[in-house]
Amino acid sequence: MASDAETPKADAAPAVASPPAVAALGGAAGGDAAGGDAAGGDAVGGDAGQVDLPRYDILIATENPALKIAPRGSEAFLRYLAVARMISPDDESVAENWVEVYCAAGASAHEVFMIGVAPSDGVAMYHRAVVRFGLDLAPLPFGDERQSNFWILFEGARFEDVQGGLKAKFKDILNARPTVFVRPHAGISPKREVAEDQKPKVKVNRERSTALAGTRVEEW
């Protein structure tokens, strides 16, 4: 279901991351994963004996089904999320005309969902994020029955919506209005395999950066 909910509030807890995309995701994107529960489950930070929190899958795509996002714009948004440490890219699937980047929760993963200090209960904000972009269209994982060349999926999210500031950044960077779909968490989706006839035909130079989240180096 599409959602336009207001910015979620912090839980009532005590206050207190080319091809490849990942290869160029140097210092800002790596090494700060928070939560450590990418395989699912909420037994994080010593809360194994507490009541399980409900989890959700949140999909962000363009509101206009006919709109295609340029790869450079997609890369810019990926860079923004990684530099802000909301995501920590750690794997990828790279084809000739599409890329999927898989991410752990970054040190500031709570900023995907809320403004202010993160809850201090040690429970992960989400299990994994997937950023899909490129030239080729593909069906959305859920929500509308349509195809798109760009989306962001937060799997196992602690909240049912992303905060308004992130939606505003989506619009500012991509020049497109976002739409948000949410469902109960359905597990971690498998890494997408690249068919032999879809693999990049030209060897791409790898490049690392210690300052910025990286993106594909080659020209599209």
Polymer length of the chain: 220
pLDDT at 52: 79
Tell me the pLDDT tens digit for each residue of 20-70. Answer: 455 444 444 444 433 334 334 454 444 444 557 899 999 999 999 999 999
Q: Taking 90 as the threshold, does the pLDDT of residue 94 lie above it?
A: yes
pLDDT at 134: 96
- Give the number of other Cβ atoms within 10 Å of residue 92's Cβ: 23
Q: Taking 80 as the threshold, does the pLDDT of residue 204 lie above it?
A: no
Q: Which of 79, 82, 91, 99 lies closest to 204 in space, CA to CA?
A: 99
Q: Which H helix or E strand runs over 72?
A: helix 71-83
Per-domain boundaries in the chain: 34-42+52-192+200-220
pLDDT at 21: 54
Q: Which of 75, 102, 72 lies closest to 87 in space, CA to CA?
A: 102
How many angstroms separate the CA atoms of 171 and 68, rounded? 14
Q: Taking 60 as the threshold, does the pLDDT of residue 78 lie above it?
A: yes
Q: Which of 3, 124, 116 lies closest to 58 in space, CA to CA?
A: 3
Beta strand 87-94 pairing with 98-105: antiparallel
Which of 8-12, 15-19, 73-77, 204-208 shows the lowest per-residue confidence on average (mean pLDDT)?
15-19
pTM of the model: 0.73
Show the CA angle centred on residue 51, arms to residues 49 and 55, nearest 5°: 120
The pLDDT confidence band at residue 200, using thresholds 50, 70 and 90, is very high
Q: Which H helix or E strand runs over 105?
A: strand 98-105
Q: Which of 54, 32, 34 lies closest to 42 in space, CA to CA?
A: 54
For residues 204 and 19, the model is more confident at 204
How many angstroms separate the CA atoms of 75 and 91, rounded? 15
